[in-house]
A and B are shown apart, each in its own frame.
Chain A
Amino acid sequence: MSTVKTTSGTNGLLQSEPLLFERSVEGRTGWRPATSGVPLADDLPEDLLRQAPMRLPELSEPEVVRHYTRLSQWNYSIDTGLYPLGSCTMKYNPRVAEDLAALDGFAQLHPWQPVETLQGALHVMAFVEDSLKALTGLHAVTLQPAAGAHGELLGLLLIRACQESRGDPRSKILVPASAHGTNPASASMAGYQAVEVPAGPDGILEVDTVARLMDDQVAGLMVTHPNTLGLYERNLSSICKVVHEAGGLVYGDGANLNALMGIVRPGDLGMDVMHFNLHKTFSTPHGGGGPGAGPVAVTQELEPFLPVPVIHRGDPLTLEWDRPNSVGRVRSFYGNFGVVLRAASYIMEMGAQGLTHASRMAILNANYLRVRLSKAFEVAFPQPCMHEVILTDRLQRAHGVQTIDIAKRLMDYGFHPPTVYFPLVVPHAMMIEPTETESLDELDAFADALIQVAREAGQQPDTLKSAPSRPSLGRLDEVGAARFPDLRYDFDSTQ
């Protein structure tokens, strides 16, 4: 074996891919642009000029294309298999939305066109706004925020603007202990002090706890519903009343809206402002850092503060800029229109009944896994869950096997691990959200793999502790990667 040269590419499970720098051959070129006719600038400061050419790798075009194509084939995505990340709603993205987005009438639009020529796009945006209003029972929507956390920040700025206009500016935001980390971060970024709210013993927020923390400095409560324990916040409408009576507003984090569509309207519970993750609930692609969209819905009281421009519902549709109470712009143009367009396609494809059915199936699938896995694993909260379920490693820890080992071993069975060690309030959590787009066969295959891993924990714990063994790379050194990140190619040490 030692005489066989390791090659690039995929050979069964043998995957290896050197860096482009390592494959570079001096003088090799892929593509040579014509000599530019533009004269060189000669007035740049000397100290800003590069003294030697950049040391870029030198390769042919097919070498580069193959390198990136091979790497792309190593990716795991929702198009290759189940992706059960809790609170991430990794559901399948229907291809029809891509067809729609590729239509010339949409793809060739430019946001600087005269608004009379953008009517189709504005109708799509108005349709998505109206759909989000119908689903939440709230009064108005802006589509501009570029992602969920951006929506959170905007929502908090709207709360501040509203309370300042009441002559009642405040300094603190209540955030439940189980919240997404982005909630306290957004509160902090908006200049508020985040105050943690503990949940009751069954994982549910209690009215008295919130009431005790409310004072004239608390601007409001940021709450995810269902919460990140996958549980229905059954006290929420009483909690909203308590917050309102003390002069606060309620912010709804829409990360888990996939459990509520057509079942509960957050506005009816008393939420004042809420963001949506179109890339979760409305099945637009989760970017790998690519575009998301985090629209925000508000009550009538908060509407005057929405960012400009807003769509004015005349005939024709126009964009309204003259809104003196607006918090201003939060995004160039009108948000990530391509994402909004795909969400429109999803909403039209599903219809009201389809969306309701999707939420019901998401809940059913999570509960199916909860029951199937409840013998092999401890379920953190045994009551029926919503769209996601949390397991722990308690039964496996007796064998020295922890959550991380279970997650890594699952990879040997070809599955992407669930969210681990989150939410923080459940020690050693494994958080599984199957979504409605997985079939019963797929759910069973995933459950079978997890049950097999639980069995192995008792019989061959060392296999788990050294897992994974089948992917191209084994257990990675997470501590080393965090403490000594190696992000630069060091020419001198390798050449």
Chain B
Amino acid sequence: MQFPPELRYSQEHEWVRVEGDEAVIGLTDFAQHSLGDVVYIEYRSQPGDHVAVGDVVAEVESVKAVSEVFSPVGGELLDTNEDLDGAEELVNQDPYGGGWLLRIRLSDPAQVDALMDASTYQAFVAEQDS
């Protein structure tokens, strides 16, 4: 299971990659493993919306269940990944790359610091899975 060291991680199993004052957000490798094959993604927020930490921004449906995606940071939603429409398998196949979900302009970059680093998240996952 992959835990890229340059990313930050939430307890809800989202990852955040900071690019300047923007954050790219997706589901972690552990999350996509737990979900199983993703079959449908529905965004609950649209570009231009302001989202706060913990807001439900999307629902991801897999063959096992429907799960909510909570925004790990706050700010203006800039973009959603439209390439996933009809290619939902990218969330499973390339969770940290082509499977990204959202791009947000950070309103408070300090929120990223509150998230876990890769080794902390890896330990968190090990505990969850034990």
Contact residue range for chain B?
10 to 19
Most buried by A among B39, B40, B88: B39
Tell me whether B44 is interfacial, beta carbon within 8 Å.
no
- In whole angstroms, how far apart are the Cα atoms of A479 and B61 in the complex? 11
Is B63 positioned at the interface, with any CB of A under 8 Å from its CB?
yes
The reply to whether B65 and A479 contact each other, CB–CB distance below 8 Å, is no
Q: Closest A-chain residue to B34, C-beta based?
A: A427
Cβ-defined contact, B65 with A483, below 8 A: no
| B34 touching A482, Cβ below 8 Å | no
A478 engages B63 (CB within 8 Å): yes
**A183 → B minimal CB distance (Å):** 14
In B71-126, the 8 Å CB interface with A consists of 88-89
- 19 of the cross-chain contacts (CB-CB < 8 Å) are A421-B64, A421-B65, A422-B65, A424-B65, A427-B34, A427-B129, A478-B37, A478-B63, A479-B37, A479-B39, A479-B63, A479-B89, A482-B39, A482-B40, A482-B61, A482-B63, A483-B39, A483-B40, A483-B88
Output the least CB separation between B57 and chain A (Å).
16
Majority SS of interface residues in chain B? Answer: loop
Number of A-B pairs, beta carbon distance below 8 Å = 19
Residues on A lying within 8 angstroms of B by beta carbon are: 421-422, 424, 427, 478-479, 482-483
In the assembled complex, the CB of B38 is this many whole angstroms from the nearest CB of chain A, namely 9
Give the chain A neighbours of B63 by CB distance below 8 A.
478-479, 482
Contacts of B34 in A (CB 8 A): 427
- Cβ–Cβ < 8 Å partners of B61 in chain A: 482
- A427 neighbours in B (Cβ, 8 Å): 34, 129
Max chain A C-beta neighbours (<10 A), residue from B40, B64, B129: B64
CA distance A483 to B62 in the complex (A): 10
Min C-beta distance of A426 to chain B, whole Å: 12
CB distance from A445 to the nearest CB of B (A): 28
Q: How far is the CA of A483 from the CA of B87 in the complex (A)?
A: 9
List chain B residues, Cβ under 8 A from A482: 39-40, 61, 63
Q: Among the interface residues B34, B63, B129, which one has the most CB atoms of the partner chain A within 10 A?
A: B63
Which residues of chain B are near A421, meaning CB under 8 Å?
64-65
In the complex, which residue of chain A has the Cβ closest to the Cβ of B39? A482
Nearest B residue to A196, CB-CB: B68
Which chain A residues border B64 with CB–CB below 8 Å?
421
For the complex, give the distance between the alpha carbons of A373 and B83 in Å: 45
How many angstroms from the CA of A482 to the CA of B89 in the assembled complex? 12
Instruction: Pick the most buried of A422, A427, A482: most chain B CB atoms within 10 A of its CB.
Output: A482
* Cβ distance B127 to chain A, nearest Cβ, rounded Å: 13
With a CB–CB cut-off of 8 A, which chain A residues contact B89?
479
Chain B residue at smallest Cβ distance from A397: B129
- A427 — nearest CB in chain B belongs to which residue? B34
Contacts of A424 in B (CB 8 A): 65
A483 contact set on B, CB distance < 8 A: 39-40, 88
Q: Min CB distance, B101 to chain A, in Å? A: 18
A424 CA to B88 CA, complexed, in Å: 22
Q: Report A-chain residues with C-beta under 8 Å of the C-beta of B65.
A: 421-422, 424
The docked-state distance in angstroms from the alpha carbon of A331 to that of B65 is 31
Instruction: Tell me the B25-51 residues at the A interface (CB within 8 Å).
Output: 34, 37, 39-40
* CB-defined contacts of B40 to chain A, threshold 8 Å: 482-483
**6 additional A-B residue pairs with CB within 8 Å, beyond A427-B34, A479-B89:** A421-B65, A478-B37, A479-B39, A482-B39, A482-B63, A483-B39
Q: How far is the CB of A465 from chain B (nearest CB, A)?
A: 14
| Chain B residues, Cβ within 8 Å of A478 | 37, 63
* A193 CB, nearest partner CB in chain B, Å: 11
Cα-based distance from A421 to B37 in the complex (angstroms): 13
Give 8 closest A-B pairs by Cβ, nearest first. Answer: A482-B39, A479-B37, A421-B64, A478-B63, A483-B39, A424-B65, A479-B63, A479-B39
Which residue on A lies nearest to B130, using beta carbons?
Answer: A394
- Report which residue of A427, A478, A483 has the largest number of chain B beta carbons within 10 angstroms of its beta carbon: A483
Q: How far is the CA of A478 from the CA of B39 in the complex (A)?
A: 9
A483 to B41, CA, bound (A): 11
Q: Complex Cα distance A356/B23, Å? A: 59
